[in-house]
Structure 1
Amino acid sequence: MRKIKIVIIFLFLLSLQGFSYQFYGIPYLKKIDDFSLIDHNGNKIKFSDYRDKIVLIFFGYTFCPDVCPTTMLRIKHTVENLGKYKKYIKVLFITVDPERDDPETLKKYVSFYDKDDIFVGLTGSPEEIKKVAKIFRAFYEKVPSKDNPDIGYLMDHTAFIYLVDNRGLLKLIYSPLKDNPERIAEDIIQIIKMSGLEK
């Protein structure tokens, strides 16, 4: 397995030789194992269903008061900056609060940011969410809300945006300090061109 990983990394680095574009996101290279969750229409989907797309993934929750709405707006603006290339991407909003985020709640939430049927809200059992978060090394935990007991609790969670290419490779990560929509869109367009998706 270690030899396979080394070969993949070597081929990736080799493919970048002579390629002068500097990616805005933090470079990363990890094969993402397939997983299954429930989408906002109540259908069971596999991550591999999006293998013909460049996928942006964000872990959040609909009750989030600040970080999630801000990040989702950044992703929305990223999609708007893609122009003709938006047809090659999907955005997966994976809840870290499956107790409250059922498919209907997620559908209302993602539809606010989505005009082109690109955003997909995903939920599942707490065990399934935990398993998927572990794949991406995404952190989250329940925090009691002392200031607003009506809410009950908030979720402390990782605020990264993950970019996975059409081969299922995690390529780039965007932190809250690196979430410029125009620059992320430029990265996506370059990866689309490199991946051979463009027709």
Structure 2
Amino acid sequence: MKRVAIFLSVLMLVSASLSYQFYGLPYLQKVDDFTLTDHNGKKVKLSDFRDKIVLVFFGYTFCPDVCPATMLRIKETLENLGDYKKYVKVLFISVDPERDTPEKLKEYVNFYDKDGTIIGLTGTPEEIKKVARSFRAFYEKVPVKDNPEVGYLMDHTAYIYLLDNRGLLKLIYSPRKDNPKRIAEDIIQMIKLLKMEK
């Protein structure tokens, strides 16, 4: 059954590409359901958002450069969606659960989003590792020896992943290819293809 769904999804993307060229890198993979803790301290599952297009980004609140830049791109993407924003959720998954408490994540995501579209997620190191593995996302702790106050930074994958409303990973955006307007166009096209509009 899973193979049939993936096959039909491939056909949909191929037929769509005849009239629309997706900006993101096409990628077809089923992502296993997972449970993490959101920025309000509640347990949430990926499957809780099956009625949405889901953008996933792995980062951390102490990140000095890549994460703030990417989160600004995501913020701009949401602004470019107009009325289509209601069909989207963004999951910011921390790769630094040691420091990223729900309270810290709440403060962080609220800076980029005021209406709850972006959700900060954390968990145990084992939970984060399992979720990252399902996306083939990389991260590791890098000690900062000359700055004891910082202690360490996290080296991590900086892709934005787009999942459809069935939990299938469809498109990936790299840091070199993360134009907010173009990502928004992809999302709108995906919403239309999946006939999500009500």
TM-score w.r.t. length of structure 2:
0.95
1:28-47 alignment runs, 5 A limit: 28-47=27-46
1:82-121 alignment runs, 5 A limit: 82-121=81-120
CA distance in 1, matches of 2:44, 2:116: 16
- Does residue 10 of structure 1 match 2:17? no
Letter in 1 for 2:8: L
- Report what 2:143 is aligned to: 144
Q: Which runs of 4+ in 1 moved over 6 A?
A: none
What is the CA distance between 1:13 and its match in structure 2? Answer: 3.2
TM-score w.r.t. length of structure 1:
0.95
- Report what 1:49 is aligned to: 48
User: Which runs of 5 or more residues in structure 2 are unaligned?
Assistant: none
What is the CA distance between 1:11 and its match in structure 2? Answer: 1.8
What is the CA distance between 1:183 and its match in structure 2? Answer: 0.2
What percentage of residue pairs aligned between the two structures are identical?
75
- Report what 2:130 is aligned to: 131
- Report what 1:78 is aligned to: 77
CA distance in 1, matches of 2:150, 2:161: 28
| Structural RMSD (CA) | 1.3
CA distance in 2, matches of 1:140, 1:42: 23
- Report what 1:193 is aligned to: 192
Letter in 2 for 1:82: L
- Report what 1:177 is aligned to: 176
CA distance in 2, matches of 1:98, 1:64: 13
User: Which runs of 5 or more residues in structure 1 are unaligned?
Assistant: none
CA distance in 2, matches of 1:122, 1:191: 25
What is the CA distance between 1:149 and its match in structure 2? Answer: 2.0
Residue 112 of structure 2 aligns to a residue in which SS? Answer: coil
Letter in 2 for 1:126: P
Letter in 2 for 1:183: R
What is the CA distance between 1:195 and its match in structure 2? Answer: 1.0
What is the CA distance between 1:20 and its match in structure 2? Answer: 1.0
CA distance in 1, matches of 2:115, 2:194: 22
Residue 40 of structure 2 aligns to a residue in which SS? Answer: coil
CA distance in 1, matches of 2:50, 2:67: 25
What is the CA distance between 1:49 and its match in structure 2? Answer: 0.3
- Using the TM superposition, name which of 82-91 and 17-26 deviates more: 17-26
CA distance in 1, matches of 2:87, 2:115: 12
CA distance in 2, matches of 1:10, 1:31: 12
**1:149-174 Cα distance to aligned partner (Å, 9 max, x none):** 21100000000000001011000000
What is the CA distance between 1:115 and its match in structure 2? Answer: 2.5
CA distance in 2, matches of 1:193, 1:116: 23
- Does residue 63 of structure 1 match 2:66? no
